[in-house]
Chain A
Amino acid sequence: MIERTPILNAVTHTVLFLGFLVAVLPFVVVAVAASHDLFHVNLVPMPLLPGGHFWENMTEAWTRADLGHKLLNSLIFAGGVAAGKVFVSAITAYAIVFFRFPGRQAIFWAIFVTLMLPLEVRIVPTYAVAANVLGPYQTILDVTGLTDLIAWISGIRLDLQFGLLNSYTGLILPLVATATGTFLYRQFFLTIPDELVEAAKMDGAGPIRFFVDILWPLSRNNVAALATIMFLWAWNQYLWPLLVTTDPTHATAVTELKQLIPNVGGVPEWNIAMAGTLIVMLPTLLVVVVMQRWFVRGLISTEK
């Protein structure tokens, strides 16, 4: 739609610009704070012009919180979660949209219901399972008395243990299932004309070939959109990595930021903390900049 509305344009641009200022101000404050020394950052009010200690603060934050290692952890964690979610939701939606099997609707609604159960709601049971994946089976055996029976027969007392705490698997796996992603794909798959599916059948493509050769390439915009959203979401996760990684070798960058936050009564090194924050934010910024084009296309998804 092309319209000539100079006044409306001016108004929209003003509103947009104000929004931009509001959004960017906190970043400016963080960046400015990260460039001062200990004395200046604690002045009230804090100077709003950058100081000369930026690089120094950055290196200090980097080494103190071991950010090199932690960023790598974050990358593995967020990348793993994003990849897992993209793949699992794609094949789930594929099954729901393109195959007729008993219980299809029930499964769909079951997935729908999990939308109302975000990680925070189910974090205790999820933690329990991650701590011992076989725990539920042990419980079943205990409750039914089978443990006692086996102990009585064989003399061995069953104690099933398979923990995922302090491992990448434990970090990633419980977050991989996603109703949101399944929905995004479902909506997209529903727009695929039946004729295209039938044409592929006539060409001799079976279900797996159809998925790999046709459906997956056609959904690349959705893949990009979903991967971006999920990467950012996982990168910013705090509670789950904090619970699962008691050992700092598997901690993520976001949780390790707490190393830089001044303790009560400690030296108020907010300049270092802000420098660390900047470093941890940077990768997400890059992802958004790089993926933006695909991301927007995947969400509007009207392109044929």
Chain B
Amino acid sequence: MADISIRKVAKSYGKTSVVEALDLDIHSGEFIVVLGPSGCGKSTLLRMIAGLEEISAGDIAIDGTIVNRLEPRERGCAMVFQNYALYPHMSVADNMGYALKVAGVAKAERLARIGRVAETLGLTALLDRRPAQLSGGQRQRVAMGRAMIREPKVFLFDEPLSNLDAKLRVQMRIEIRKLHNRLSATSIFVTHDQVEAMTLADRIVVMNAGKVEQIGTPLEIWHRPASRFVAGFVGMPPMNLLEATVETDTRVRLADGTPIDTPPLALRPGTPVVIGIRAEDVRVGAAVNDPGLVLAVDFVEQLGAAALVHGRFGGHDFVVTAPAALAEGAPEGLALGIDPPALHLFDAATGRRLATVNDAAALARPAVLAPTA
């Protein structure tokens, strides 16, 4: 259990800045997921917390102690690596027990602790094997065991599931979350997979190009993406983002002239904005009463329960989720309905979210927006 506080931490290699003045407060026992595209500096952030990478500026404190100058072993963190990084010449037991051996723990106690961790992870039968004789999922477990055995204050995971097949990934994801709940350590989990982030996190930190875009609970991130980047990154399929110009207080016009009603805006007419709407928030089919809005269908992805209909709308690529039956038979056009409350609005220049009554409405739903200090 440990608080982690990150103050104006930056990292640069020579002139290239990889992480820029980053602030983050992590509460004891929290499960934080750092989410972002490849190359945005997630691993660098994690490795700075671990002590594997020097920080160029700022302070990192674990449990109130500034650890900037401490060696990794003095920080009380354990790490699970993307490629597991097991010692190829050691047995599973020795791999897990190595940290204890280095720390000078007596053999009897070491074996007892290896036994306990192996049992938790279902590795008891594999203790004498070498890493090369294990499957990917088993190696993953050994890597977890190696991290757990020291009973660290902080668990750091660097994309630990990305080398597993889809089924195993889901299974390990659940196990990691269960373990976290049981061990009550603080966990920081880095991934580029938004599903992992949504399912695992107490809070998600969305990063882009070395900066934090948004910090919030999975539902906050989902319902109130703080920027155009977050809106486009979180969600499968990604949120539809359309360029538009403000016309009146409650209406914008798309690039091709299509008018869209919006929640009340306090913007001057003529201001360029970006409107966003998720595929599943668009109403489709017969019940639609906005006769002007039609999706020119390109192709349909049948998912069984529903279908993703891809096409062009308002001069942009556009995706909607439609009932499977409606999408059948490859319709050429699909009538759309866009409810003003379902719209997200972003500043065209900065990409930041523009406050609307929509957000105020969201505030009324407590589950969606439990403000975090």
Of B97-105, B205-213, B220-228, B351-359, the one with at least 4 CB within 8 A of chain A: B97-105
- The answer to whether A13 has its CB under 8 Å from any CB of chain B is no
Question: Given A204-B73, A304-B132 in contact, is the A199-B85 Cβ separation under 8 Å?
Answer: yes
B146 at the interface (CB under 8 A from A): yes
Q: Chain B 85-110 against A: per-residue CB contact (8 Å), 1 yes, 0 no?
A: 11111000000001100110000000
B7 to chain A, nearest CB (A): 23
Segment from A3-11, A162-170, A190-198, A243-251 that makes contact with B: A190-198
Contact B89 A198 (CB under 8 A): no
Q: How far is the CA of A106 from the CA of B296 in the complex (A)?
A: 65
- Closest B residue to A192 by beta carbon equals B88
Residue of A195, A196, A209 near B82 (CB, 8 A) is A195
B363 CB-CB contact with A under 8 Å: no
Contacts of B102 in A (CB 8 A): 203-205, 209
Nearest-neighbor residue (CB-CB) of B97 within chain A: A203
Count of chain A residues with Cβ under 8 Å from any Cβ of B? 17
Q: How far is the CB of B152 from chain A (nearest CB, A)?
A: 9
Residues of B within 8 A of A (CB): 47, 50-52, 71-73, 77-79, 81-83, 85-89, 98-99, 102-103, 132, 146
Other-chain residue from B71, B81, B103, B132 in contact with A199 (beta carbon distance below 8 A): B81
Contact B78 A202 (CB under 8 A): yes
Q: Which 6 A-B pairs have the closest CB atoms?
A: A204-B73, A195-B85, A199-B85, A203-B99, A204-B102, A195-B81
Q: Can you give 22 A-B contacts (C-beta < 8 A)? A: A193-B85, A195-B81, A198-B47, A198-B52, A198-B79, A199-B79, A199-B85, A201-B51, A202-B52, A202-B72, A202-B73, A203-B99, A203-B102, A203-B146, A204-B72, A204-B73, A204-B99, A204-B103, A205-B98, A205-B102, A213-B98, A217-B89
State which of A193, A204, A217, A218 has its C-beta within 8 Å of the C-beta of B83: A193
Q: Taking beta carbons and an 8 Å cutoff, which residues of A are in contact with B?
A: 193, 195-196, 198-205, 209, 213-214, 217-218, 304
Pairwise interchain contact A202-B79, C-beta atoms closer than 8 A:
yes
Chain A residues whose C-beta falls within 8 Å of the C-beta of B98 in the assembled complex: 200, 203, 205, 213
A218–B88 CB distance below 8 A: yes
Residues of A within 8 A of B52 (CB): 198, 201-202
Shortest Cβ gap from B350 to chain A (Å): 37
* Complex: A217 Cα to B90 Cα, angstroms: 9
Q: Which residues of B contact A304 (CB under 8 A)?
A: 88, 132
A201-B78 Cα distance, complex, nearest whole Å: 10
Give the shortest distance, in Å, between A211 (CB) and chain B (any CB): 13
Q: Write out the residue numbers on chain A whose beta carbons fall within 8 Å of the beta carbon of B78.
A: 202
* One of B72, B79, B87, B132 near A196 (C-beta < 8 A): B87
Name which residue of chain B comes closest to A199, CB basis.
B85
Identify 10 new A-B residue pairs, CB closer than 8 A, beyond the known A199-B86, A200-B98, A202-B73: A195-B82, A195-B85, A198-B81, A199-B81, A201-B72, A202-B50, A202-B99, A203-B146, A204-B102, A214-B87
